[in-house]
Amino acid sequence: MQIIKSNEIVEDTWTTVEGEDASAVGEGDVIVPFALWQAARETLKGRNGGLGILLEPGDAVEDIIDDLDRFQVIALNFPSFTDGRHYSTARLLRERYGYDRELRAVGDVLRDQIFYMHRCGFDAYAPNPRHPIEDVLKGLKDFTVKYQPAADEPEPLFRRF
């Protein structure tokens, strides 16, 4: 599967684990659902390979704050393009909690939204396969000037000149 990372299309090296069965977690780099992390936290801490977590819109980011240093990837699911709760989650992770590793938007990621997702702190995107990834990538260049401060540009335009 391909994703957008660092403004280019790359092969995804992470495997997303489904369900809440800790025995389904193999070796290598895996992204586990929040419920599985809660149920098998101690087991997952000692495994070989990278560890990421997948948060759904109803999951509270505050519940993983003490473990942020354990995650190389935090994936935030957008089950529908109309559900924007994770825009706030991304800003919280970057600005309040200082998370500086990969922050990935997954699910119904559209070209129209990717520029704004980037402004909130996302740096990787796994769009739904029904949306051509090349087209989604173009959304990062839809605007050339950013007026307001955000996670990607903390200074407003008037302070940059």
Give the CA distances from residue 37 to residues 59, 61, 63, 94, in Å, rounded to whole numbers and listed in that order.
Answer: 12, 13, 11, 21
SS (H, E, C) 87-102: HHHHHHHHHHCCCCCE
- Cα separation, 144 vs 48, in Å, equals 42
Give the CA distances from residue 126 to residues 9, 45, 148, in Å, rounded to whole numbers and listed in that order.
Answer: 10, 25, 26
Domain at 48, CATH number: 3.20.20.70
Q: Give the count of domains, the chain.
A: 1
Q: What is the pLDDT along the chain (161 residues), one digit of tens a residue?
A: 899 998 999 999 998 888 776 666 777 899 999 998 888 887 777 777 889 999 999 999 999 999 999 999 999 999 988 888 899 999 999 999 999 999 999 999 999 999 999 999 999 999 988 889 999 999 988 888 878 888 888 888 888 87
Q: What is the pLDDT of residues 42-57, one digit of tens each?
A: 777 777 788 999 999 9
Q: Which residues pair with 10 in a beta bridge?
A: 3
- Cα separation, 73 vs 103, in Å, equals 6
Residue appearing with tokens 């489904």? 18
Q: Which pTM was predicted?
A: 0.89
